[in-house]
């Protein structure tokens, strides 16, 4: 899948003739998912320009406009198509900005966990022995404790240690670290399994006989072969990370209301469910489900298409 050697035209031709594209053309559901995902990404990239207002700009907020309903309910205002929240912020805008935060944390956390997990997995698989046993037992314990539980515990400790105010300033970084640290075992296991499968193959043996260093063998020979399982896993993990972030924020261990993610939007809106303003909490919730569902469906499709285990066999 490298495009480095070859003009753009051959790279394009290779993509055009690929199995990947062939499958995409035959799968209506995957097309819809990809389209939706693309639209969501574009929407979130362009949010500062397309959002009706900037929820971070206090000058644009009018407390008198609080708890306006969305457009299909009597009493709505055209300036706020999805209504407003309890502080008078435009709900559509807060949702878009919130989804940006959620997605940023999702991508960031997956970056952290994939780096950590891949390195540790490579190490465990390639070195074997005590390193392997130790790392894998640690992964087992962490997984049996459940990664979400792990994230909650770490989040709780961080909050108890540094207090809530700390989250206001470094929320995104903290959450990326927490979720990244708690989910690495998934990657480590996947990478380790592929390494063990690759290690037995002849080309690795040949590279070793030729006298390449083990790091070179790992990075140049084994790692490229673990890319497709990592890609498939990453898609699912982005969805998981977004969910984990939402859960943490909902428990008050995540993004503060002043710089809300979708999770903290849902949390802050929850108090107004009883007063009848269901949209403040349920609309961001729906948006979250949509985001996660699209990513999950894409992950499903990627797994079916790339079938990492089958091609690795």
Partner 1 sequence: MIFFLMRRLLQAVAVMFVISVIGFAIQDGLGDPVRQLLGPTATDAESTALRHSLGLDRPLWMQYLDFAGDAVKLNFGDSYFFHEPALDVIARYLPATLELVAASAMITLLLSVPVGIFCAIRPRSWLSRGLMGLSLIGISVPVFLSAMVLIQLFSIGIQVTLFPTGTGWGQWLNQLLSIQGGMPAYGRGNPVHVWGVWYTNFASWQGLLYLLLPALSLAFVMLPLFVRLIHAEMLEVLESDYVKYARARGLRPSRIYFLHALKNTLLPVVTLGGVQIGTLVAYTLLTETVFQWPGAGLMFLDAIERADMPLIVAYLMVVGLIFVVTNTLVDLLYRGLNPRVTLSGRAA
Can you say whether the dihedral through the CA atoms of 48, 50, 55, 60 is positive or negative? positive
Residue among 27 and 60 whose Cβ is closer to partner 1? 27
Contact between 161 and partner 1 by CB under 8 A: the answer reads: yes
Residue 105 structure tokens:
């944390």
Give φ, ψ of 90 to 5 degrees: -65, 125
Q: Which listed residue (59, 274, 310, 313) binds partner 1 by CB under 8 A?
A: 274
DSSP 53: S
Residue among 11 and 247 whose Cβ is closer to partner 1? 247
CB of residue 3 to partner 1, shortest distance in Å:
33
Contact between 252 and partner 1 by CB under 8 A: the answer reads: yes
Q: Please tell me the number of Cα atoms within 13 Å of 69 on its side-chain side.
A: 11
Find the binding residues for partner 1 in span 206-235 (CB under 8 A): none
Q: How far apart are CA 133 and CA 137, in angstroms?
A: 6
From 78, 72, 70, 118, select the one nearest 95 (Cα to Cα): 70
Contact between 11 and partner 1 by CB under 8 A: the answer reads: no
3-state secondary structure of 253: coil
CB of residue 274 to partner 1, shortest distance in Å:
7
Report the 3 state secondary structure along 107-148.
HHHHHHHHHHHHHHHHHHHHHCHHHHHHHHHHHHHHHHCCHH
3-state secondary structure of 90: strand
Q: Which listed residue (144, 165, 211, 313) binds partner 1 by CB under 8 A?
A: 144
Contact between 310 and partner 1 by CB under 8 A: the answer reads: no
Can you say whether the dihedral through the CA atoms of 239, 242, 248, 249 is positive or negative? negative
Q: Please tell me the number of Cα atoms within 13 Å of 277 on its side-chain side.
A: 24
Q: How many residues does the chain have?
A: 313
Q: Which listed residue (24, 148, 193, 197) binds partner 1 by CB under 8 A?
A: 148
Contact between 153 and partner 1 by CB under 8 A: the answer reads: yes
CB of residue 185 to partner 1, shortest distance in Å:
12
Residue among 176 and 291 whose Cβ is closer to partner 1? 291
Contact between 56 and partner 1 by CB under 8 A: the answer reads: no
Contact between 18 and partner 1 by CB under 8 A: the answer reads: no
3-state secondary structure of 84: strand
Contact between 32 and partner 1 by CB under 8 A: the answer reads: no
Q: Which listed residue (137, 201, 216, 220) binds partner 1 by CB under 8 A?
A: 137
Q: Which listed residue (37, 166, 212, 278) binds partner 1 by CB under 8 A?
A: 278
Contact 111, 179 (CB under 8 A): no
Residue among 7 and 144 whose Cβ is closer to partner 1? 144
Q: Taking contact as CB under 8 A, which single stretch among the options 63-71, 136-144, 207-215, 217-225 is the one that binds partner 1?
A: 136-144
The owner of tokens 């984990």 is: 244
Residue numbers at the binding site for partner 1 (CB under 8 A) = 74, 137, 141, 143-146, 148-149, 152-153, 156-157, 159-161, 239, 243, 246-247, 250-253, 266, 270, 273-274, 276, 278, 281-282, 285, 288-289, 292-293, 296-297
């Amino acid at each position: 899948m490298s495009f480095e050697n070859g003009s753009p035209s051959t790279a394009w031709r290779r993509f055009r003739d690929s199995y990947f594209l062939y499958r995409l053309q035959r799968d209506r559901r995957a097309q819809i998912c990809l389209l939706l995902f693309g639209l969501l990404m574009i929407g979130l990239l362009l949010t500062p320009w397309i959002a009706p207002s900037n929820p971070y700009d206090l000058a644009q907020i009018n407390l008198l406009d609080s708890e306006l309903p969305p457009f299909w309910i009597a009493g709505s205002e055209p300036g706020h198509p999805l209504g407003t929240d309890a502080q008078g912020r435009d709900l559509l805008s807060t949702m878009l900005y919130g989804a940006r935060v959620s997605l940023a944390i999702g991508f960031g956390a997956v970056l952290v966990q994939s780096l950590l997990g891949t390195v540790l997995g490579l190490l465990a698989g390639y070195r074997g022995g005590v390193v392997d046993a130790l790392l894998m037992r640690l992964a087992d314990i962490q997984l049996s404790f459940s990664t979400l539980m792990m994230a909650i515990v770490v989040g709780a400790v961080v909050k108890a240690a540094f207090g809530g105010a700390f989250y206001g300033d470094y929320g995104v970084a903290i959450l990326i670290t927490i979720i990244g640290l708690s989910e690495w075992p998934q990657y480590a296991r996947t990478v380790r399994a592929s390494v063990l499968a690759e290690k037995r193959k002849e080309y690795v043996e040949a590279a070793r006989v030729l006298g390449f260093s083990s790091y070179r063998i790992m990075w140049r020979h084994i790692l490229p072969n673990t890319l497709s399982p990592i890609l498939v896993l990453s898609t699912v993990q982005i969805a998981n990370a977004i969910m984990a972030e939402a859960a943490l924020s909902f428990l008050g261990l995540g993004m503060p209301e002043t710089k809300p993610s979708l999770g903290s939007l849902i949390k802050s809106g929850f108090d107004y469910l009883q007063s009848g303003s269901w949209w403040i909490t349920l609309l961001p919730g729906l948006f979250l489900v949509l985001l996660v569902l699209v990513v999950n469906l894409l992950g499903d499709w990627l797994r079916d298409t790339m079938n990492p285990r089958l091609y690795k066999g």
